[in-house]
């Protein structure tokens, strides 16, 4: 039985050649490929500054720190997202304030954000979940009215747009990540973009142990970190970024294929294929198992697919209910009904731009058969 992976990076000989070229050079860190990769990212998003770092988590951490967020401050975030969003806030001693999501986009709900603003609120982290653009107009209006900063987490959304603007470029700071399951990869890695020259200079220094270009060698002006991205990773990223449009087109084609195959299948809710004035950057393809099916249906369907060599996974487990967070004061008695319901129903299907039509068909047949079994289960809740 051939395994269908959940995700797979798209690496061609051009990427291999680019990495080998760096290996044959004398520069493996903080060299010309870093500058070239940053310039390409900045140009793509029409901003003056891009800072490449070792991961999306590192990018989030530097963004939080650069904005002066710290002890006593609150940052409004979704609980339905990757844990790094909350971790980056906690690294600086600030408090993540979890709010609920919109049931259609699965992005942070501006109405809930509005209700969560207090005198201690300093920022909002707007995550473009699964590559679907968040409601940036509403979030920006709330932020402007309350003198808040917005960190735009586009780690899952490179290449997407909101009302014509590239995701990540709309607010104070934008974040990208290039883990191997993302649309493009540098192996590990991430990037920060901003129009603010002072913020850019500070984040660039902090990624390299707090060292500014104006200082002497081994002179460190503030507390920093080893968040550098290697020349090898940057060389890979340059080629991948150059192929981004074709990669996104292929991923959109796979999403449309799934949408067509799954149309009319009972017991599931499909992700939106398109949104007004937005371009989705397809990161994953996540369906929801309908709540009318018996309790535990999602997990049984998932086990059925896995037993047939079809990789799948839940996306996401709510952060406020995870062991690292559930005992904390701000998670106690917190109820996020949409987040908690959605988290119990989501199922990510195999999704990558080279997924064949035959493999997509195999996934859908297995899923449909598993769902048919669920309709015969006693509906005990």
**Contact at 8 Å (CB) between 247 and 351?**
no
Mean pLDDT along residues 33-48:
98
- Report how far residue 58's alpha carbon sits from residue 150's, in angstroms, rounded to the nearest whole number: 17
Q: Which residues are CB-contacts of 60 (< 8 A; sequence separation ≥ 6)? A: 84, 85, 87, 88, 125, 151, 153, 175
Identify the pLDDT of residue 197: 98
Backbone dihedral region of 264: left (phi > 0), alpha (psi from -120 to 50 degrees) or beta? Answer: left
Is residue 380's pLDDT more than 60?
A: no
Of the candidates 371, 316, 321, 309, the residue with the CA atom closest to the CA atom of residue 347: 316
Is residue 73's pLDDT more than 70?
A: yes
Mean pLDDT along residues 235-247:
98
**% of the chain with per-residue pLDDT over 90:** 92
Mean pLDDT along residues 331-351:
96
Identify the pLDDT of residue 219: 86
Identify the pLDDT of residue 140: 98
What is the tens place of the pLDDT at every residue in 117-135? 999 999 999 999 999 999 9
Average pLDDT over the chain, rounded to an integer: 96
Is residue 381's pLDDT more than 70?
A: no
Is residue 334's pLDDT more than 90?
A: yes
- Helix axis angle for 32-44 and 231-242, nearest 10°, is 30
* Three-state DSSP state, 107: coil
**% of the chain with per-residue pLDDT over 70:** 98
Is residue 79's pLDDT more than 90?
A: yes
DSSP states of 255-315: HHHHHHHHTT-TTEEPPPS--TTEE-----EEEEE-TTSPTTHHHHHHHHHHHTTB--B--
Is residue 116's pLDDT more than 80?
A: yes
What is the tens place of the pLDDT at every residue in 139-184? 999 999 999 999 999 999 999 999 999 999 999 999 999 999 999 9
Identify the pLDDT of residue 214: 77
Identify the pLDDT of residue 133: 98
Identify the pLDDT of residue 364: 97
Is residue 222's pLDDT more than 50?
A: yes
Ranking 80-94, 226-240, 323-337 by mean pLDDT, the lowest is 323-337
Which domains, ranges and CATH numbers included, belong to the chain?
Answer: 13-242 (3.40.640.10), 244-375 (3.90.1150.10)
Helix (H) or strand (E) holding 85: helix 84-91
Identify the pLDDT of residue 89: 98
> Which tokens go with 213?
């270009």
- Report how far residue 341's alpha carbon sits from residue 364's, in angstroms, rounded to the nearest whole number: 23
**Contact at 8 Å (CB) between 125 and 97?**
no
Angle 260-292-351 from CA coordinates, rounded to 5°: 35
Buried b (16+ CB within 10 A) or exposed e, 140-150: bebbeeeebbb
Is residue 377's pLDDT more than 90?
A: no
Sheet bearing 278-279, strands edge to edge: 165-166, 161-162, 278-279
- Report how far residue 281's alpha carbon sits from residue 134's, in angstroms, rounded to the nearest whole number: 12
Please provide the distance, in angstroms rounded to a whole number, between the alpha carbons at the two ends of the chain. 35
What is the tens place of the pLDDT at every residue in 264-278? 899 999 999 999 999
Is residue 379's pLDDT more than 80?
A: no
């Amino acid at each position: 039985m051939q395994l269908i992976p959940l995700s797979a990076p798209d690496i061609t000989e051009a990427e291999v050649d680019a990495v080998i070229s760096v290996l044959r050079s004398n520069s493996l860190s903080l060299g010309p490929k870093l500058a070239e990769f940053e310039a390409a990212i900045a140009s793509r998003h029409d901003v003056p500054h891009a800072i490449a770092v070792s991961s999306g988590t590192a990018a989030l951490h530097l963004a939080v720190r650069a904005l002066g967020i710290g002890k006593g401050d609150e940052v409004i975030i979704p609980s339905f997202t990757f844990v790094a969003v909350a971790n980056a806030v906690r690294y600086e001693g600030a408090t993540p304030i979890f709010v609920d999501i919109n049931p259609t986009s699965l992005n942070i709900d501006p109405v809930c954000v509005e209700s969560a603003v207090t005198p201690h609120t300093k920022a909002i982290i707007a995550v473009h979940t699964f590559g679907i653009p968040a409601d940036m107009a509403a979030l920006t209006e709330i932020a402007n009215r309350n003198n808040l900063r917005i960190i735009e987490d586009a780690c899952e959304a490179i290449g997407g747009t909101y009302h014509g603007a590239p995701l990540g470029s709309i607010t104070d700071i934008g974040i990208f990540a290039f883990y191997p399951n993302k649309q493009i990869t540098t192996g590990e890695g991430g990037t920060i973009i901003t129009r603010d020259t002072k913020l850019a200079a500070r984040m660039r220094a902090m990624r390299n142990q707090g060292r500014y270009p104006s200082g002497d060698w081994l002179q460190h002006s503030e507390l920093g970190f080893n968040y550098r991205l290697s020349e090898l990773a940057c060389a890979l990223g340059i080629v991948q970024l150059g192929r981004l449009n074709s990669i996104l087109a292929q991923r959109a084609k796979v999403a449309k294929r799934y949408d067509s195959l799954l149309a009319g299948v009972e017991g599931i809710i499909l992700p939106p294929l398109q949104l007004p004035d937005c371009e989705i950057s397809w990161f994953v393809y996540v369906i929801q198992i309908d709540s009318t099916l018996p309790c535990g249906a999602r997990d049984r369907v998932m086990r059925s697919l896995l037993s047939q060599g079809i990789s799948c996974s839940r996306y996401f487990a709510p952060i406020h209910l995870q062991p690292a967070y559930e005992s904390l004061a701000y998670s106690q008695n917190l109820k996020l009904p949409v987040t908690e319901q959605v988290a119990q129903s989501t199922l990510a299907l195999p999704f990558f731009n080279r997924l064949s039509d035959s493999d997509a068909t195999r996934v859908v047949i297995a899923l449909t058969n598993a769902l048919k079994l669920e309709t015969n289960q006693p509906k005990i809740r």
